[in-house]
Amino acid sequence: MYEILSKNLYIEGDKMKKIGRLITAMVTPFNDKGEVDYEQAKKLARALVDSGSEGVVVVGTTGESPTTVRSEEIKLFREIKSAIGDRATVIAGTGSNSTAEAIETTQAAEKTGVDACLLVVPYYNKPPQDGLYNHFKMIADSTKLPCILYNVPSRTVTNLAAETTIKLSQVKNIIGVKEASGNFEQISKIISGSRKDFLVWSGNDSDTLPMLAFGAYGVISVASHLVGKQISEMIYSFIDGKTEKAAELHRKLMPMFTGLFVIANPIPVKYALNQIGFKVGRTRPPLCEPDEKTASQIMDMVKKFKIDLPV
């Protein structure tokens, strides 16, 4: 099991690893046939690390987890970990609305050598808070991996209440939460009430700086595909006490933070990546390409920014 050493490190035996303040929720590249392009996925992971990401989430919502299959996911976990090694953290998206399936996927992911797992709140079946607690505890108890909870009620319908997150923070290998509720009162309660070394990442790029101000740790980002170095500078400017600089960067980046969500994620970010020359393919159905007006809106926004991703 893992002993938490500080706000950004955990240890397994004598091996210390950094979780990272800036983590990218990585898109899954597909080829022209709609198949996973593993070579391009490895290239993207390396490029993200080169442009400021301290970790990547593989097969999260941005990675189109609803339309990937188990064999693809496990191979992606293995390939991405082999591609970036110890340069950055690899976090496997292994959550499900089936507890048994989430346990099976998490255990399979652990065997690939990933560094942690991301567990989304079960979607569609709307479990009560006791059910959510039992779901996450059963998964955590089944693995040695550090587990990060993911609360995104706009996608799952169900909100993981602050009281439930606080209770789950007492489970030794549940090390943090990606909070995308946008509910600052709830997030403040989590930061105040959880164990001292429990980490809170923003799940919305536009919420990152405000959340840092009341004690969050970092962000699991979509915009970092394009402006990772600038987001990293914003985060570390704030951490270093350069709050005016952080605020200036936040204001500058806000059109990117909002513009990548004009339609369902990851449609805009995949479209933008393809347009700037980093080919990641189309989204899988039922997602689709943006219409002409939306596509123009996305690129009009992107063209106003310096792109950090190596292309």
Residue 203 has phi, psi (to 5 degrees) of -100, 0
Cα separation of 210 and 246, whole Å? 11
**Cis peptide before 268, with omega less than 30 degrees from 0?**
no
Is 150 among the residues known to form the active site?
yes
The DSSP string of 120-136 is EPPPSS---HHHHHHHH
Q: Which residues make Cβ contacts (< 8 Å) with residue 61, sequence separation at least 6?
A: 25, 93, 120, 152, 155, 265, 266
Report the interhelical angle of 129-141 vs 99-111 (nearest 10°): 30
Q: With contact defined as beta carbons under 8 Å apart, do 36 and 74 qualify?
A: no
Q: Cα(first)–Cα(last) distance of the chain, in Å? A: 39
| Given the residues 178, 217, 270, 271, the one annotated as active site | 178
Residues, the chain, total? 311
Is 178 among the residues known to form the active site?
yes
| Given the residues 150, 167, 217, 271, the one annotated as active site | 150
Cβ count within 10 A of residue 98: 13
Cα separation of 271 and 298, whole Å? 8
Cα separation of 91 and 84, whole Å? 12
What one-character DSSP code corresponds to residue 64?
T
Burial code (b: 16+ CB inside 10 Å, e: under 16) for 67-78 equals ebeeebbbebbb
For the annotated catalytic residues, the residue numbers are: 150, 178
